[in-house]
Structure 1
């Protein structure tokens, strides 16, 4: 299931939200897109196990665990933070992944940084045996291929295509499938401007930019202003936004509209990339800090 919701602004600016979060009840949005061809490749290589990496509240970990179970694979998650080993019952994401059959290997943050090193991957293979490697966040050529299917011929009417950015796979696929008159705007969830080179690995077009001003302090960081925006947006539209990715992107676009960044009569498409399972984990963190929680219904 997929649908689009349109919102009108002053200066005849039109914003449409593509509800890619409705693609699948669990493996939604860009996770569905990224895993589509990775699952086919794993089957083609006769792999029986998927292995991947992620943090405590990772949408990717939850999606891989479910997709593996649904498609007849075993799954292994290398989890950042060895202190989480005894806290699974307090973590809705890890609980869900474990219920889907995922086996965990908890490692320190120092060890986790080695995840792309050949020696580290070799040691994991010796420990777990043969597996199909799905990178952290799922970004690889197969993932980009899947994300190239986000836009359809009907989307040619849009001037701007906006999406949240994590590892760069989703925006790369979108860039590859745009038309010459379209501009792609990415809103990184991580602090810093290091993703430019990652994206250029997969794209040739130059019709894109990253706006790094709406990360709210960095990955997984929020404040009361963002929480209020997401809650108010849900009241107004009945569309739930996650606080790590899409919520920040929508906030950023609305703020840029108010600041007259977009020309009059602009037709803007926002990609809702899912990630709503992360709301449960975020609310746990917010309650522990005595902060307002997200009241969206997922």
Structure 2
């Protein structure tokens, strides 16, 4: 018998926001849907968001879940958590936040909170018309667990975000290794690689690596001293050239760095991006979120006319 918290049991026996949000053509409002999991694998979640277009605010959220007690409770908790948030605020909700809202989950059931986070991301990216792969390369990595279709990229991501140290924990979070078990050795190797990366980053930070040295090595990380304006410009241009432009060019668009004023980055959208109805989403997701992740959480991206 799993040791569930009172909150988990409450949302299991009396789920909040269970059901579907139908598209009603209500002016200024759109419905977004995100779906993750597979019934054949034991858990599946379809998340529905009702969004006010002008403000990007989530007016309502509902879910349909096939799964266990933790899956239903996690899905219900997620819908309660995101109502009233903007889409950008909702994207910051992590699987840890979902588990904490529930007062904790048995470790073997943490994959249910991860499923909720992934469904939320899928719904928001579907709404914004941006392929999830532009934000998350989970599906483009090397297949590690054939039983559940889990790649090395996804395993690395969950290990880093949750500080996992054993293959058993990885199984609890994303189910990889929970089938035939033939991939457990590979999972152990990935964990060791991530631990080595973290150790190297920590060592470099403790040794006081300079910003210029980080730029020259091709790494994108937070330096021990503030970036100069020249270094910031170079780093922003590097992220645009190596991570953003290839994605936009593949869809017929492009972006050019125009100017930088403090933490405000001004860009020119080109090609399909210039005339695309989802150009705002391109700015906020494809460009701004990457610059915030790589350089500074205070960066704001604005589009200017050429």
Determine which structure has the larger helix proportion and give its number.
Answer: 2
Rg larger for: 2
TM-score, normalization: structure 2? Answer: 0.28
Q: Which fold has the larger relative contact order, with Cα–Cα distance below 8 Å and residues 6 or more apart in sequence? A: 1
